């Protein structure tokens, strides 16, 4: 199942708007509704006002009517196995469980699988879940 998320994240990366960093990133989420939602980083000259790929995909998921991340793939053109940044880790954890799988990819496919708990131990938690 992770291969289709890799393909979706890689395809999303082609839509990145990264004229400043020259660091395109793509992300793909499989939500609880079974659909795949994608995003790419979208930079802005007024740094840090841009969006990373992961929250862009989360926004697509929420606007698509889904609420929970079942699994997620992330790929960066210039850094194999690029993990989500710290801020994105907290954003992902808002919509994921501790055992949600996060796939880190290179240009060939998924190379490392982590759980949300491994990616962000001691995350902020609420009783909203």
Judge whether 125 counts as a catalytic residue. no
H/E stretch holding 61:
helix 53-63
* Exposed e or buried b per residue across 91-107, where buried means at least 16 C-beta atoms within 10 angstroms of its C-beta: bbbebbeeebbbbbbee
Which among 32, 43, 54, 117 is annotated as catalytic?
Answer: 54
Largest interatomic CA distance in the chain: 40
The answer on whether 82 is annotated among ligand-binding residues is no
CB contact at 8 A, 44 and 64: no
Residue 42 neighbours by CB under 8 Å, 6+ apart: 16, 17, 50, 51, 56
Cα 77-81-86 angle, rounded to 5 deg: 100
Active site residues: 54
Binding residues: 52, 85, 88
Give the annotated binding-site residues for Zn(2+): 52, 85, 88
């Amino acid at each position: 199942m992770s291969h289709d998320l890799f393909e979706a994240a890689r395809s999303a990366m082609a839509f990145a708007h990264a004229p400043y960093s020259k660091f395109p990133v793509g992300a793909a989420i499989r939500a609880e509704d079974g659909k795949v939602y994608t995003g790419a980083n979208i930079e802005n000259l007024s740094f840090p006002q841009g969006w990373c790929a992961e929250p862009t995909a989360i926004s697509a998921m929420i606007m698509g009517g889904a609420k929970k991340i079942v699994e997620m793939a992330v790929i960066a053109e210039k850094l194999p196995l690029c993990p989500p940044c710290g801020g994105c880790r907290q954003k992902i954890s808002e919509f994921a469980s501790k055992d949600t799988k996060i796939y880190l990819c290179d240009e060939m496919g998924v190379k490392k699988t982590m759980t949300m708990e491994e990616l962000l131990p001691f995350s902020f938690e609420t009783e909203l879940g």
